[in-house]
Chains A and B, each alone.
Chain A
Amino acid sequence: MVLVGPSGCGKTTSLRMINRLVEPTSGRVLLDGRDVQQGSAARLRRGIGYVIQQTGLFPHRTVEDNIATVPVLDGWSRARARGRARELLDLVGLDAGLAKRYPHQLSGGQQQRVGVARALAADPPVLLMDEPFSAVDPIVRASLQDELLRLQQKLGKTVVLVTHDIEEAIKVGDLVALFRPHGRIAQVDAPEQLLAAPADDYVSGFVGFDRGIRRLSFLGTDGLALDSQPVLPADATVSKAAATGLPWVLVTDGDGRPRGWVPAHRLSAAPGLTPLGEVPTDGFGHTFTAGVDTLRAALDAAVLSPAGEAVAVDGAGRVTGVLGYDQIRAAIQAAAELTADSAGDLAGDIAGGDSG
């Protein structure tokens, strides 16, 4: 679950109410149906993982002792806790050799991973993350986000993440709560719904321009009809290519991998019996893997292609066909109809009342 909103909207405060770093002035926070305010705060927090933007790693302890913090608090022997720490280092993708280093010797991205490892050490069912990736550069951030998704798939924990970056929210969230300034919630929905059906102008403004195209990253490319007519191997002759009557022809090599596009006018300029392989080709941009990549990737490939058609490949990189704008448009329309129906369903669920 991602809490997203502008600065000062209360998303961090809301997060910190879950582990009682902030005590609510009214209302209740229920964890597994139990009010978090009952019982000791320290005990509660040991059962909840907590990751913050600046990591807050203990500078006076080694990496492994940092990770072992909560297990040791829970009474584990130091040896056992350190063993667990090493497991976690592996889990978050860090080299075990870093265990005896100190935090200041690590890079920002490495420190963040240690922070996550520390939060997971006691295997808590819930993980709170407060802008965990905002302090690292975009490349590291993207890889950390991917790691998080991978971890989430593997561990299946309940994660509540706070961010101010709507793109991050859309990328990692299963459910996104968008905050207005001053603490009210504007919309709680699956990320795709936020893009497809924003509740009001505030939401659509926050979600941003070109949300239509971004929404395409939630649509798949399986089952789309690919056109194989323009695809010809390099040993086919120019006259055969010209006989298709198509404005562009895609040349593949002996393995079926794409070489490039050839426009019709270049075909007519060459002698008929020349193999296509000897005709200069134009680049094809990038490919997309049908059934795996999203419609957005397909659209992007089509835009980059000189022929206006996206090159579809299979898992091994062999061309399976091409996709033109018409087919893409049809796919988008079909998805829109489907979403309009399900948007109504989801809205009904939310109106029916849940705590999220």
Chain B
Amino acid sequence: MSFFSWAWDWITTSANWHGNGTGLDGSIPQQLLAHLGYSALPLLIAAAIAVPLGVFTGHTGRGAALIASLANVWRAIPTLGLLVLLVVLLGFSPLTWLLPLVALAIPPILVNTHEGVAGVDRDVRDAAKGAGMTAWQQVLHVEVPIALPLILVGLRTGAVFVVATATIAAYIGLGGLGRFIIDGLARNEYGPVAGGALLVVILAVLVLALFALISRLVVPAGLRKQERSE
């Protein structure tokens, strides 16, 4: 049987939609919702920290070198290792999964926001300053709107990342769609493993689609979208 048939069989088994949540697995809708929560919360916190910070460093140009090195280093950190370490040191608590998820979601958002703001054409910034905009106005009316495509790319990367990492966090005890995967692996049942995996993939793709939609709505027509690889 293929991955899809395993997954499909499991997902369409109605029993899986009605678990009571106290069992090992929980129901699909429950874990789906939980997963959304475990992804959205770290993303929002990370965005709240990284976007203003990136705007600041991009506008002033300070910390550019630091951010450049950050861009390289953050991908090197194995999420599984970090999660496991925190659990072993601190026991399982909201902190042990929230902190690493936030910490690891910050770099892509920060780097892209910085690049977006710092990358605003020098002449445009000069013109904004020359027209008499205060620093605040330059940032709000000119630099951020122009940087918006890249900021959204950063947020999108962060979003996809937290969805993936929340899945892994099931290994240290977090709920969500990863539960089906981890528990299924432990019990050698490929059904939930495949089903959980497929659901996670669908969720990730939905996140992409959501950001594409947001992009279309929010980015002004005058800006040509930059194609950049992260």
Binding site for B on A (CB under 8 A): 19, 21, 40, 42-48, 50, 52-62, 69-70, 73, 102-104, 115, 118, 128
Contact = CB atoms under 8 A, between A and B. Distances in A.
A150 to B, nearest CB: 24
Nearest to B135: A42
A56 B133 contact: no
A55 B131 CA distance: 12
Contacts of A58: 124, 127-128, 142, 146
Contact of A45 (B131, B222, B224): B131
A60 B145 contact: yes
17 contacts: A21-B126, A21-B130, A50-B130, A52-B127, A55-B123, A56-B126, A56-B128, A57-B124, A58-B128, A58-B146, A59-B223, A70-B131, A73-B133, A73-B137, A102-B222, A103-B222, A118-B131
Contacts of B223: 59-60
Contacts of B133: 42, 73
Contacts of B221: 102
Q: B127, B128, B134, B223 — which one has the most chain A CB atoms within 10 A of its CB? A: B127
A103 B146 CA distance: 13
Interface in B144-184: 145-146, 148
B179 to A, nearest CB: 44
A46 B132 contact: yes
B9 interface: no
Contacts of B121: 54, 56, 59
B200 to A, nearest CB: 36
Contact of B132 (A54, A55, A73, A128): A73
A45 B132 contact: yes
B129 interface: yes
A80 B17 CA distance: 59
A111 to B, nearest CB: 11
B130 A62 contact: no
A54 B124 CA distance: 9
Given A55-B123, A60-B222, A43 B130 contact: no
Q: A45, A55, A104 — which one has the most chain B CB atoms within 10 A of its CB? A: A45
A115 B220 CA distance: 20
Contacts of B127: 50, 52, 55-58, 115
Contact of A70 (B124, B126, B132): B132
B167 to A, nearest CB: 37
Sorted nearest first, the 9 A-B pairs with minimum C-beta distance are A56-B127, A46-B132, A50-B130, A102-B222, A45-B132, A56-B123, A54-B123, A60-B220, A42-B134
B222 A104 contact: yes
Contact of B131 (A46, A54, A60, A103): A46
Q: A21, A45, A56 — which one has the most chain B CB atoms within 10 A of its CB? A: A56
Contacts of A44: 132
Contacts of A103: 222
Q: B137, B145, B220, B222 — which one has the most chain A CB atoms within 10 A of its CB? A: B222
A54 B133 CA distance: 19
Given A57-B124, A58-B142, A52 B130 contact: yes
A69 B142 CA distance: 11
Interface in B173-219: none
A43 B220 contact: no
Given A59-B124, A102-B222, A21 B129 contact: yes
A45 B145 CA distance: 22
A94 to B, nearest CB: 17
A61 B220 contact: yes
Contacts of A60: 142, 145-146, 148, 220, 222-223
A73 B130 CA distance: 12
